[in-house]
Amino acid sequence: MANGSLRASAVLAGFFAFTVPLMPVQALLLKTSPKSARRFPNWYHKNVCRILGITLKIEGAVVEDRPVLLVCNHTSWLDIPVLSALSPVSFVAKLEVGSWPFVSALARLQRSVFIDRTRRQSTGDAATEITGRLKQGDTIVLFAEGTSSDGNRVLPFKTSLFGAVAGQNPVSSSEIVVQTAAVVYTHLRGVPLTRADRPRIGWYGDMEMTSHAWGVLKSGPITVTINVSPPVPLSEFKDRKDLALKTERAVRTAVLGILRGRPGDPGLVPVEPSQEIRRQKLALPLARSEKWT
């Protein structure tokens, strides 16, 4: 226990010592060099992952010469540095994230798009910003479950979250590509995580962030596997429902493959919840409270 606390303290000290001096650098880049401001957080988060003791095993790659909608499953606050280390990205986050101490500053420096889903006008403004970013060639991360899970499953994707890119927008659908990223935390201190252990990494339900983060940092080095799908033109999807269904299926298949130690196995057929099961999950008291999205 003492060793765990010492580790967590050292990691936090290293994180703040590395992060705080670089925040003004990114703020300056946002004003003077938009291209550098997109790429700098990628370099920063690669180093943050090293400080946190996170080892990334990446299968596939995010394309860099096209605007990308990167559709991902969501397990933990660790997803933010992990996906940011994968490629230069910006996140779609719920409005409340913009009010969290310190976290909000980091989110704004990374050019996150904030959505207040309780106000239709705000959602429309966010959709305009998302399409504007895609028009500039950005990669936008969408946590399509709308919340986080325990890491052992993929929750149903919310079709409404795809409206900004699958509906009418000023960006030609022939320019945008869609990719999925399945994120699975597989090892802790080099030991494979079991189904019972994996929720220790997940941040979901009513978990308080500070105590959860402290527990994760005390636990030791973590290995995460990220499976990135090949790019598919947005124009190949009929509408937002088709986009949600196919990306959900792709993420489920990839997550299942990683969990079973068979990544990329096309023979795996994930269980896809029926509409009735979807409704039951959304009605359960244990439905995950919304975190980043």
Q: What is the pTM for the complete model shown?
A: 0.85
Output b/e per residue, 167-202; b: 16+ Cβ within 10 A: eebebeeeebbbbbbbbbbbbbeeeebeeebbbbbb
Q: What are phi and psi of 232, to 5 degrees?
A: -130, 130
**pLDDT per position as a tens digit, 123-173:** 556 677 888 888 888 999 999 988 888 888 899 998 877 877 776 444 555
Alpha helices in the chain (DSSP H): 2-19, 23-32, 34-52, 79-86, 103-109, 120-135, 163-166, 209-219, 240-259, 275-283
Using pLDDT thresholds of 50, 70 and 90, give the confidence band for residue 269.
low
Long-range Cβ contact pairs of 125-128 (< 8 A, separation 24 or more): 126/92, 126/164, 127/163, 127/164, 127/167, 127/169
Query: Distance from CA of residue 16 to its chain's centroid?
Result: 22
- Contact between 215 and 123 (Cβ < 8 Å): no
Classify burial at 137, counting beta carbons within 10 Å of its beta carbon; exposed 0-12, middle 13-18, buried 19 or more.
middle
Nearest to 133 by CA among 68, 50, 58: 68
9 against 267, higher pLDDT: 9
| Average model confidence (pLDDT) across the chain | 84
pLDDT in tens, 189-242: 999 998 888 888 888 877 788 888 899 999 999 999 999 999 999 889 988 899
pLDDT digits (tens, 9 = 90+) for 32-52: 999 999 999 999 999 999 999
List of domains in the chain: 2-283 (3.40.1130)
Q: Is pLDDT of 183 > 80?
A: yes
- Kindly report, residue by residue over 227-261, the tens digit of the pLDDT: 999 999 988 998 889 999 999 999 999 999 999 87
Check: CB of residue 165 under 8 Å from CB of residue 134: yes
Give the Cα separation of 134 and 2 in Å (integer).
47
